Amino acid sequence: MKKNLAVLSLLLTLFAGGLQAQRFRGIRVESNAPVEVYLDGMRVCSPVHSCMITNLRRGTYLLEAFLVMPDRNHMLSKLVFKEEVFFSGADVKDIFIQTDNTWEIPYPPGDLVPMDDHTFDELLSQINQTSFDSDKKRLIEMAVSKSLFHTRQVRRLAQVYSFDSEKLWLLKLMYPVIIDRERAFLLQDVFSFSSSKKEFVRFTEEFDRR
């Protein structure tokens, strides 16, 4: 009986240890200020001081962190970390981000500022409830005239449309007001056809040369 209990105890210990080891494999980001964390272009953590990214395979990942700050009911963001990080597939890869938590606000009073996520969700909801395409376009054009947008928000808006021609109209309209244009390459896969992707890329290149 004692032998059986000892064996059971050992198995439970090994099982618990295995679960713990599995749970804590990944990339951990620690920061002295709240940051939004992105992995290969996808947001994995909202503004936090500590972010644990698990369920990762061995490989190299693009890790980005943005310092965030509210301003006049909007959220401003500032890139404070961008690096390709290799994860071995075992243990924990620790990333420590030390920021000075200072801001050089690129938006003078009266200029456009990025639309905050709450307002964007309201905009998207209203667009989805609108029946006519002309009314949807009017809402989007009004929003574009008043705000800047993040790439992730533009991507969600593009999903409102089914056809490449409509998505191309949207992306051409919104590209000039994208705040993180270095991430705009992530928008190419919203298109179904390579010709639409090429036209969008050509548009961005011509715009950036102006």
Mean pLDDT within 5-25: 50
One domain for residues 176 and 119: yes
One domain for residues 163 and 204: yes
Amino acid 21: pLDDT: 44
- What whole-number distance in Å separates Cα of residue 85 and Cα of residue 40? 10
Whether the predicted pLDDT of 1 surpasses 60: no
3-state secondary structure of 16: helix
Number of domains in the chain: 2
Kindly state the percentage of the chain with pLDDT values over 90.
Answer: 45
Q: How many CB atoms lie within 10 A of CB 112?
A: 15
Confirm whether 190 is domain-assigned. Answer: yes
One domain for residues 139 and 165: yes
The enclosing domain of 67 has a CATH number of 2.60.40
One domain for residues 80 and 129: no
pLDDT tens, residue by residue, 53-92 = 998 999 999 999 888 765 544 456 678 888 999 999 888 8
Amino acid 158: pLDDT: 94
Contact 120, 150 (CB under 8 A): no
One domain for residues 53 and 82: yes
One domain for residues 132 and 203: yes
Structure tokens at 179: 């705040």
Confirm whether 4 is domain-assigned. Answer: no
Amino acid 110: pLDDT: 52
Whether the predicted pLDDT of 106 surpasses 80: no
Confirm whether 85 is domain-assigned. Answer: yes
pLDDT tens, residue by residue, 123-173 = 999 999 998 988 999 999 999 998 999 999 999 999 999 999 999 999 999
One domain for residues 125 and 161: yes
Q: What is the domain extent for residue 34?
A: 24-97
Which string of b and e fits 88-103 if b means at least 16 CB within 10 Å?
eeeeebebebeeeeee
Whether the predicted pLDDT of 109 surpasses 70: no
Confirm whether 33 is domain-assigned. Answer: yes
Last residue of a domain, one of 97, 127, 144: 97
- What whole-number distance in Å separates Cα of residue 46 and Cα of residue 194? 33
pLDDT tens, residue by residue, 163-201 = 999 999 999 999 999 988 888 999 999 999 999 999 999
Confirm whether 63 is domain-assigned. Answer: yes
